[in-house]
Structure formats: structure tokens, C-alpha cells
């Protein structure tokens, strides 16, 4: 994801990085998808962070770059 000419201040970028890099919770992912809904709120970013393995959030020049990684895993049902 790239936000060109981003207006996000550095403290919000740092907070976004922290939210997106919480530990992934494979066992509850299906439930989390239902919680996501259609609105964008910080709580939903927490849910996204719970469904990815890692994220990088960097401001390069004036552009905000977000890369999210999700590795294939097998978990017991």
C-alpha cells in the first residue's frame, strides 16, 4: 500500500507500525474477518495486525509505504 504525498505525522506512522505488528492469531482468523465490517477504524487495524505475520511501515520522501506479510501456515482445527 502506498499513500502518495502522505500527510500522516511520524507519531501516527509509529503507532500504525505497532498496531500492524502485533502477534498473528491463526486460531481466530475466520472470526476476525466477520468482525472487520466495512468501516475503517483503528480497532479494525488491530484485527488486520492479528491476521498478518509482519508489516513494515516506512515514510520514503513524502510517500507512506506499508507492506504486510502473511505466511502460509497450517493450524489444527
Mean pLDDT of 1-16: 92
For 10-61, the pLDDT digits (tens) are 999 999 899 888 887 777 666 666 665 555 555 677 777 877 889 999 999 9
pTM exceeds 0.95 for this model? no
* Per-domain residue ranges of the chain: 2-69
CA 40 to CA 52: how far, in whole Å?
17
* Cβ-based neighbour number of residue 61 at 10 Å: 8
> Which pLDDT score, from 0 to 100, does residue 46 have?
73
> Which pLDDT score, from 0 to 100, does residue 29 have?
65
Mean pLDDT of 67-73: 84
> Which pLDDT score, from 0 to 100, does residue 2 have?
95
Amino acid at each position: 500500500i502506498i499513500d502518495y504525498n502522505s500527510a500522516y505525522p511520524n507519531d501516527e506512522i509509529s503507532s500504525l507500525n505497532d498496531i500492524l505488528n502485533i502477534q498473528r492469531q491463526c486460531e481466530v482468523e475466520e472470526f476476525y474477518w466477520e468482525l472487520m465490517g466495512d468501516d475503517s477504524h483503528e480497532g479494525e487495524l488491530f484485527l488486520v495486525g492479528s491476521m498478518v505475520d509482519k508489516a513494515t511501515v516506512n515514510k520514503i520522501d513524502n510517500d507512506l509505504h506499508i507492506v504486510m506479510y502473511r505466511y502460509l501456515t497450517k493450524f489444527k482445527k
